[in-house]
A and B are shown apart, each in its own frame.
Chain A
Amino acid sequence: MRRHGSAVLSEVRLPARSHSLRTASPSETEGLGRHLGRLLGPGGFVGLIGELGSGKTVVARGIARGLEYDGYVGSPSFVIVNEYAGRVPVYHIDLYRLADAREIETIDYRGLFFGSGVAVVEWAERGGEYLPGDRLEIAMTITGRTSRSIEISSTGPAHGEVLTSFVRVWKERG
């Protein structure tokens, strides 16, 4: 029943599917994350995709800041999961060391991806079908020493709404 409802809703007000932008510096890249973090709540999922050095951890730090966490945000490559006490719990996850998507079963993916917090996942493409069907993906490309080309896309209605709001605040930012 609910599925029909949201189908009708999306015909009336199509959520954004994808948005491309450029940032000129790490602080602007972090700012993108901060704006996004302010819009996220329980059940939020952001997958970060891009080569080493493309700024995934910088965006993750911004998202944590937007969710009101002021402490240290580093790369969780070796511990797989860092948890930050923000406005809601922020789960900063790095799948770089996963040899196979099935290794996700060695972490609490049900609680981390579908719980009461926001999951920010680096190397998300390694998560395969364990990822939520409805999520945001941020693909990052290095275009210069500090500049990045960034494409944000949503894969479902809930994160489509988040993306629509983000595009509006990103355009209106000072």
Chain B
Amino acid sequence: MAFLTIETSTPFEHVAIVEEAGVVAERALEGGRSRSDELLAAVDDVLRGAGLTVRELEGIVVSAGPGRFTGLRVGIATAKGLSAASGLPVFAASTLAALALAAGPTEDLVCPVLDARRGEVYGAVFEGEEARRLTDDAALPPSDFGDLIRGIGGDRTALLLGTGATACRSELAEALGGNGRFADPEIPIPTPSALVAAADRSRPVDPASFEPTYIRGVVPSGPGKVGG
């Protein structure tokens, strides 16, 4: 039961081979350049590391977003290409659900949050050990995400984790009053095991029509900055 995992939704891109017992080979791609040649070389590396060929895999689990536009397109196109060549099924993992699962067990609300640029974050709210989803994925200003969390949890402590928790820490902390708890910045990414856990492995996607999770529509953006 080995899966190839591909995670390119954040700048901390990685591929891995995950078996029942856990990760058996993993490779991080430095610099978040989202290059398909580097990604395929990394896939080759982890397969060699695990002593497997593509055809011996059970399937490909790919991070479906929301997240970085180009990263997701490259990661998903790579998964589709490997699937077309090998016949392997592709399973989609919600990036935010995988991030929530990576948090580990906690009594707090789990709020994965990614930097969406233009003064916004991608966020969703989960709870419980199996990361039960309480909201849809959304793109919104950090203060609005804080309000959303408070609307659901009241005074319950909310664990915030992901690149957006680091990038928008002060706004989120302010919106949550004293109820925000920030995860160790050392774990800001959906891990390979969490991706496999977040994917619905009974329902492969149709590679021809499968697209990244984009959150459509915008509200006008606020003041910006130039330089620095």
Contact = CB atoms under 8 A, between A and B. Distances in A.
Interface of A: 3, 6, 40-45, 102, 105, 107-108, 110-111, 113-115, 129-135, 156-159, 161-162
- 4 tightest A-B contacts by CB? A41-B227, A108-B69, A134-B224, A114-B117
B118 A114 contact: yes
Interface string B192-228: 0000000000000000000000101111111111111
B217 to A, nearest CB: 8
A60 B118 CA distance: 23
A114 B120 CA distance: 10
A43 B226 CA distance: 5
| Majority secondary structure of chain B interface residues (helix, strand, loop or mixed) | loop
B68 interface: yes
Interface residues of B, number: 22
B220 A133 contact: yes
Contacts of B119: 114
A102 B216 contact: yes
Interface of B: 68-70, 116-120, 214, 216-228
A132 B68 contact: no
A105 B216 contact: yes
A158 B119 CA distance: 15
A3 B171 CA distance: 12
A105 B216 CA distance: 7
A159 B152 CA distance: 38
Contacts of A132: 118, 221, 224
Given A40-B226, A132-B224, A134-B221, 20 more contacts: A6-B223, A40-B227, A41-B228, A42-B228, A43-B225, A45-B224, A105-B214, A110-B116, A111-B68, A113-B118, A129-B220, A130-B218, A132-B118, A133-B220, A133-B221, A133-B224, A156-B224, A158-B224, A158-B226, A162-B226
B228 A111 contact: no
A157 B223 contact: yes
A156 B221 CA distance: 11
A162 B226 CA distance: 8
Contacts of A156: 223-224
B137 to A, nearest CB: 15
A107 B69 CA distance: 8
Nearest to B224: A134
B219 A129 contact: yes
B117 A41 contact: no
Contact of B226 (A108, A130, A159): A159
B170 to A, nearest CB: 9
A129 B222 CA distance: 11
Contacts of B226: 40-44, 158-159, 161-162
B18 to A, nearest CB: 29
Nearest to A162: B226
A114 B219 CA distance: 14
A18 to B, nearest CB: 17
23 contacts: A3-B223, A6-B223, A42-B227, A42-B228, A43-B225, A105-B216, A107-B69, A108-B69, A108-B70, A111-B68, A111-B69, A111-B117, A113-B117, A114-B117, A129-B220, A131-B221, A132-B118, A132-B221, A134-B223, A134-B224, A158-B223, A158-B226, A162-B226
Contacts of A113: 117-118
Contacts of B227: 40-44
